[in-house]
Chain A
Amino acid sequence: MISAHGLTKRFGSQTAVDQVNLKFVEGQASGIIGPNGSGKSTLFNMLTGHLPPSVGKIEFGGLDITALPPHERVGMGMARTFQLVSVFDSMTVWENLVLSTGRFADRGSGHRRFFFGPARSKTILENCLGALERVGLQDKAGARTSELSYGDKRMLEIGIALSLKPKLLLLDEPLAGLSDHEIGDVVDLLHEMKQNCTLVIIEHKISKIMDLIERLSVLNDGVLICEGDPEAVLNDPGVRECYWGKQVSNAEG
């Protein structure tokens, strides 16, 4: 589905991601873990086109997309969520979904409706409500987004990503900052999404998604140190050392 070849990102003399080779298989759910600052988000930012890689190549569906801007990657079926939840606070909840459900970016048809048709039309509202129903927010469609709880905003963000009908969805710490109850909701939703979408998830709360993922990759200091079956990876001595070893030295320091 998507693969990285020798992907490297340098910020000045700092190497955030170093020669990473990764392959995410279609239909699978994969997890990425690693200590803070290990380059997980930078890797995501390169895969989605937010940051250009210093060196390396990214392939998506067999095509080289290394130089493609984000919106074209979205057009090819890629969607993402952000580490800090990213929705449009100044708008109502349903307005957040107008652009992603409408797919007005597709050239050709619908230009007149895009520029001159009211956003508050029956078809658009129905589409938005449909997308909100998937994430259980249909009752809050008319609320101001700034008034939603953090958990609801996370659900809304996932709803926006889903309404793009992605083939590949990259989620950057979707469970961070949520209550146990909300985590349950998001994990249920992830299970459901897995039916027709390839998932790549960065997550610290790995135990919550162990049932979901088929593969796990571990980054440390920008280097891919281990990958494979999640259970096996977690028991790998190198991974244990990078996690526990670091914490021990932190505790001592």
Chain B
Amino acid sequence: MTLIAVAFLLLTVVMPMHWLTDFAVFCILVLSFDLLYGYMGRLSFGHVLYYGVGMYAASLALVHLAPNPFLAIGAGIFASAVLSSALGFIVVRTEGATFALVNLALNQIGFWLAMSGLQAYTRGEDGLSSSVRAIGFLDFYKVPVAFGFMLVCLLLVFGLLRMLTRSPFGILIRSIKENEERVKFLGYDTLRYKWLTFVIAATLAGFAGTLHALVKGFVAPGDMGPLENARVIFAVLIGGAGNLYGAIIGGVVFETMINLLATNIARWEMFLGIMLLVLVFWFRRGITGYIADLARKFSRSRGNPAERMP
């Protein structure tokens, strides 16, 4: 955890701080997706729906209730938790491609609602502006303050997910990824835990959405468009699915590349395509997976792994 904090602080030397503020928010979204995909093995093409719900709920709370950042965060978390609890009840009953596409479909509906269905509240394509009042030193318009706040949020989410994934619950969801039928015969109601994991992942995505609203002061339907899911999936694949450090490395590497490519090359999408091909053919398990494989090769040449004790 200190490692992440130090890495982010060191990066401020080579990158603008407002980039890193955005990266921290994006990394929270990637972490939440990694719980669902990397740990439980459920690939969703609609995860940013909940990011969008958190984002709009926070903005609406800022505009209509009070310009208080904590109220906005509370509203976003509440909205994404409630919606994912209800929708999760249905979607976790599906598997594989159906799961991915049902989530995509729901994301499409959410996007349409933000775009036109609920235009009266979201202002549609024009987007929704909001402002936050400073509380003491916590002034989101000061870049270092916003950066520090997002970094703390990232560390909190990382800490929470590290606890969850190292616990017996973490073993349970990894077991569901490998063989769900088998887990039922260990006496666990897998549907219940799949639902719970879905809700946790979606709520954390919603939390990331609230931070987006706070730090940008402006939200638009494009931020939760179905295509945004590709960014999250990319980031997880780059870092290595099923590894929390991987999610953060992937998030930072991906966003850095996008930012650099976009400032230098007008149409940069091709490079993303090429990178995905490289990942799929040579680095299946991403950066962290590649390092882990190297480490294992190294330790295997030095001793019998069967003799390692837990």
Which residues in A have some Cβ–Cβ distance to B below 8 Å? Answer: 48-50, 69-71, 74-75, 79-80, 82, 86, 88-92, 94-95, 98-100, 102-105, 113-120, 124-125, 128, 139-144, 147, 160, 164
Contact = CB atoms under 8 A, between A and B. Distances in A.
Interface residues of B, number: 30
A84 B184 CA distance: 17
Contacts of B170: 119
A14 to B, nearest CB: 22
Contacts of B163: 115-116, 118
Instruction: Tell me if B's interface is mostly helix, strand, loop or mixed.
Output: helix
A99 B171 contact: yes
Contact of B168 (A82, A88, A119, A160): A119
B189 A119 contact: no
Contact of B185 (A80, A113, A115, A128): A80
Interface in B186-212: 186-190
B171 A98 contact: yes
Contact of A124 (B168, B184, B307): B168
Interface in B251-310: 305-310
Interface in B154-174: 163-164, 166-172, 174
A120 B186 contact: no
18 contacts: A70-B184, A71-B184, A71-B186, A71-B189, A91-B174, A99-B186, A104-B188, A105-B189, A115-B164, A116-B164, A118-B163, A119-B171, A120-B166, A125-B310, A139-B306, A141-B310, A142-B308, A143-B305
A118 B166 contact: yes
A90 B241 CA distance: 14
Interface of B: 163-164, 166-172, 174-175, 177-179, 181-190, 305-310
Contact of B186 (A49, A116, A160): A160
B189 A147 contact: no
Contacts of A118: 163, 166-167
B306 A164 contact: no
B286 to A, nearest CB: 16
Given A115-B167, A160-B186, A88 B179 contact: yes
A60 to B, nearest CB: 14
Given A86-B179, A89-B178, A164-B186, A147 B305 contact: yes
B171 A95 contact: yes
Contacts of B171: 91, 95, 98-99, 119
A105 B175 CA distance: 14
A62 B163 CA distance: 42
A91 B174 CA distance: 9
A160 B179 CA distance: 15
A118 B310 CA distance: 13
A79 B185 contact: yes
Nearest to B182: A86
Contacts of A139: 306-307
A164 B184 CA distance: 12
Contacts of A128: 310
A64 B16 CA distance: 67
A2 to B, nearest CB: 15
Given A98-B171, A99-B171, A115-B169, A120 B310 contact: yes
